[in-house]
């Protein structure tokens, strides 16, 4: 994988600074991803896929994004080594830093999948699934940006923002950004220690001190 191939720390930092950090890449990624999704939907609707089929496939892709969000955040962005882990570590250090996946990587990957599966493979509905997935990615990016840069007053947004703030305090908990479902499924939702647990931890601490 990419992060395994780039083993030199200095090279990773140069690549991140050149392609992942900065205003242009950060905001143009929104335009590129949404435009790619619109292109995929347009292709489907003009190449024999019925509207209801495209809508159903799009919804499936959007739902699939929810798990992708959790999986990438937990198992890729929080790797101790590698370019993705290092980039995400920068975000945890400076939450105001504009850093994101280089726009051309996402666009090139999605277009390659579309060409291989839809154009060459002739699989109907696949482009609509990818379109829904991409819109989910855009939605995630907007929500995540709002957590760190905008003061939205809605109850839903405040709860998600507080949920995400806990992740920055406890990086192995609360991986979900737009939803909490997968944290519940995989048991990574943060829960405050109960009084019993705190008492046991304090007792263990006192016992270990007494044995030294």
The pLDDT confidence band at residue 211, using thresholds 50, 70 and 90, is very low
- Per-residue CA distances from 210 to 86, 143, 198, 202 (Å): 40, 49, 18, 12
Burial of residue 98 (CB within 10 Å: 0-12, 13-18, 19+) is: middle
Q: Count of CB atoms within 10 A of residue 178's CB?
A: 18
Pairwise pLDDT comparison (194 vs 42), residue with the higher score: 42
State which residues form the domain around 205. 2-211
Q: Residue 207 pLDDT more than 70?
A: no
- Per-residue CA distances from 66 to 73, 161, 177, 182 (Å): 11, 17, 9, 8
Could you read off the pLDDT of 136-152 as tens digits, one per residue?
999 999 999 999 999 98
In 3D, which of 140, 157, 32 has the Cα closest to residue 77?
A: 140
Average pLDDT rounded to a whole number, residues 174-197: 88
At residue 126, the pLDDT reads 98
Whole-model pTM: value is 0.86
């Amino acid at each position: 994988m990419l992060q395994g191939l780039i083993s030199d720390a200095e090279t990773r930092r140069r690549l991140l600074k050149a392609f992942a950090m900065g205003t242009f890449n950060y905001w143009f990624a929104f335009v590129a991803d949404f435009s790619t999704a619109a292109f995929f939907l347009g292709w489907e609707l003009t190449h024999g896929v019925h509207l209801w089929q495209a809508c159903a496939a799009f919804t499936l892709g959007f739902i699939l994004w929810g798990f992708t969000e959790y999986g990438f955040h937990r198992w890729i962005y929080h790797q101790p080594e590698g370019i993705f882990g290092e980039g995400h570590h920068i975000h945890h250090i400076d939450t105001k830093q504009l850093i994101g996946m280089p726009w051309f990587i996402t666009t090139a990957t999605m277009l390659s999948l579309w060409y291989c599966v839809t154009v060459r493979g002739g699989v109907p509905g696949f482009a609509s699934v990818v379109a829904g997935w991409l819109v989910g990615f855009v939605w995630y990016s907007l929500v995540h940006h709002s957590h760190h840069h905008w003061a939205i007053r809605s109850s839903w947004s405040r709860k998600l923002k507080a949920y995400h703030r806990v992740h920055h305090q406890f990086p192995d908990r609360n991986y979900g950004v737009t939803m909490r479902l997968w944290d519940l499924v995989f048991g990574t939702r943060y829960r405050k220690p109960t009084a019993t647990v705190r008492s046991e931890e304090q007792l263990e601490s006192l016992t270990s001190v007494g044995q030294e």
